[in-house]
């Protein structure tokens, strides 16, 4: 049962190893397949597959928490699903279950900008074939595939207001997480301090200013995602500014 244990002695993860590059390849291949087969995937019979994926994500996340409890690593300071990728996972499950557009609008940005970065530079100790390896990459890959499936197959598209909804969502969430961090001694979403290892946050200034820089960067990148994936008839085109003459 080493593959389900706490020790990573025989499963030490190395960034850009074959097992890591294979995951990146699977991510890209899946996106290509979804895009090229978007017409075939529009069949409403795919609803069962959507629900099946949602159930699989719920199941593997429950097993992950069981794994932490069994191995004595579950702690309120780090195990509550309050990281951006954990929130994206919850949104992914909710989107699959409800198909709500507002969930898609937030998930599209948090997943593409958060989960993609996590896959390329994973904060992971366990390599193939450890359970944590499969949990980490399966949940992150699905968090990216699902919103793009809803974009290319279901016809959902972000608007400029989607970016505003993301802004409201994050700024409503941050004070709550800050209070929780204070109560449990946690560092969810890196709102208490920077990570101990080198990271992109090192380029964004000292605490607490890097939080503002991080939010500004997320909004800026979200605008880029919106420009790429938006409908041609987005709000700017629907309601052009009227020229005034004097």
Residue 3 located in a structural domain: no
| pLDDT for 240 | 46
| Structural domain includes residue 134 | yes
Residue 224 lies in a domain: yes
Segment 54-73, tens digit of pLDDT: 999 999 999 999 999 999 99
- Domain range spanning residue 216? 8-238
Domain annotation covers residue 107: yes
Let me know if residue 245 belongs to a domain: no
Residue 246: per-residue pLDDT: 41
The number of domains in the chain is: 1
For residue 161, is it within any domain? yes
Task: Give me the mean pLDDT over the 217-222 stretch.
Answer: 88
The answer to whether 81 and 90 are in contact (CB under 8 A) is yes
Q: Is residue 113 part of a domain?
A: yes
- Non-local CB neighbours of 207 within 8 Å, separated by 6+ positions: 193, 194
Average pLDDT over residues 22-37: 96
Rg of the Cα trace of the chain?
19
Q: Helices in 71-159 by DSSP H: which ranges?
A: 84-98, 101-110, 116-120, 131-152
pTM exceeding 0.75: yes
- On whether residue 246 sits in a domain, the answer given is no
pLDDT level of residue 10 (50, 70, 90 thresholds)? confident
**Which tokens hold the place of 108?**
């599209």
In whole angstroms, give the CA distance from residue 128 to residue 3: 9
Spatial distance between the Cα atoms of 203 and 207, rounded to a whole number of angstroms: 11
89-102 pLDDT, tens digit per residue, is 999 999 999 999 99
Residues 76, 73: Cα–Cα separation, whole Å? 10
């Amino acid at each position: 049962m080493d593959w389900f244990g706490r020790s990573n002695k025989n499963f030490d993860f190395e960034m850009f190893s074959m097992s890591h590059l294979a995951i990146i390849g699977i991510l890209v291949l899946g996106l290509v397949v979804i895009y090229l087969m978007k017409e075939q995937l529009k069949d409403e019979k795919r609803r069962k597959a959507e629900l099946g994926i949602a159930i699989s994500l719920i199941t593997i996340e429950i097993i992950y928490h069981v794994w932490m409890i069994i191995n004595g690593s579950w702690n309120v300071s780090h195990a509550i699903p309050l990281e951006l990728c954990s929130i994206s996972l919850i949104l992914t499950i909710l989107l699959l279950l409800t198909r709500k557009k507002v969930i898609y609008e937030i998930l599209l940005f948090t997943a593409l900008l958060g989960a993609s970065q996590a896959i390329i530079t994973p904060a992971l100790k366990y390599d193939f074939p450890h359970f944590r390896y499969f949990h980490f990459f399966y949940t992150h890959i699905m968090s990216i595939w699902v919103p793009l499936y809803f974009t290319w197959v279901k016809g959902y598209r972000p608007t400029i207001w989607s970016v505003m909804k993301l802004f409201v969502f994050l700024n409503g969430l941050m004070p709550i997480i800050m209070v929780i961090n204070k109560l449990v001694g946690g560092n969810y979403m890196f709102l208490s301090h920077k990570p101990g290892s080198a990271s992109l946050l090192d380029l964004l200034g000292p605490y607490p200013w890097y939080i503002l820089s991080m939010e500004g960067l997320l909004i800026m990148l979200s605008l880029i995602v919106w420009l790429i994936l938006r409908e041609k008839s987005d709000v700017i085109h629907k309601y052009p500014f009227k020229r005034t003459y004097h």
